[in-house]
Structure 1
Amino acid sequence: MGFEGEVWRLMRQEEPVGEIVIDEADFPWLNGRFVPAPTFAEVKPWFDESLALLEAKEYERFDDSYDRIADTLSLVGPSGPVAEFLLHIRSGRAWFRWSDEPFDDV
């Protein structure tokens, strides 16, 4: 798809939290190297917790945990901010999917 090499930014309001340099696209997921900004340390525990809950198949608790990420941070692609995203970060890697429209609550 043409995503490789793109740089996506994770933001908290106007403050950068990190960048994702895309090196793999498996639509709808994009994967890449995560380059944290100094402020990432403040939100890293949120990502650790949400991923641990997801891996433990505690989906309801995951949803509640992930809400903090979605409500506080934004993801900005090369074309601008996206409406909604699902992002995981671990060990210098990030993988995510996004939508220009809000996800359907199922």
Structure 2
Amino acid sequence: MSDHHGGTWRLHRRDDGVVLADLVVTGGDFPWLNARVDPREGLAEIQPLFAAELRLLDGIDEDVESWEHAYEAVRNAVTLQYPDGQEVPEFLLHIDGNKAWWRWSDEPFDEQNA
């Protein structure tokens, strides 16, 4: 298994695979990675999804269901790739301007047993 704690990860639009941004790892605090967002054409179209998710994240203790719906919209819009080009099975990604932070799992979450 390769080391996924550095390098450049890629954010893709789910429906057509277009690269929306390079996420250049700048550091992290396990289990989170931090990165600089190098935007590409198309990222601006989905930025409102990330902005809505972050707004709701601030009030997650009061309304977790609204945040879950907002994050589901993010996940339905994008995929994430490891630096080696493989798709990340499961991730929790936040983007705020030119900064991103995320955690990931090499295995999909089993929502039926959660």
Tell me the TM-score normalized by structure 2: 0.84
CA shift digits 1:34-86 (9 cap, x unpaired): 11112001100000000100102232101001101112210001231111111
Aligned twin of 2:82: 77
Contact 2:49 2:70 in 1 (8 A): yes
Is the counterpart of residue 44 in structure 1 residue 47 in structure 2? Answer: yes
Query: For the pair shown, which has the larger CA radius of gyration, 1 or 2?
Result: 2
Aligned twin of 1:8: 9
- Percent identity (aligned): 39
Tell me the TM-score normalized by structure 1: 0.90
Stretches of structure 1 that go unaligned for 5 or more consecutive residues are none
- Structure 1 distance, partners of 2:97, 2:70, is 20
Q: How many residues align?
A: 105
RMSD between aligned residues: 1.6
- TM alignment of 1:1-106, pairs within 5 A: 3-4=5-6, 6-12=7-13, 13-57=16-60, 58-79=63-84, 80-105=86-111, 106=114
CA shift digits 1:2-48 (9 cap, x unpaired): 723x0000001320111100011211110010111120011000000
Structure that is richer in strand per residue: 1
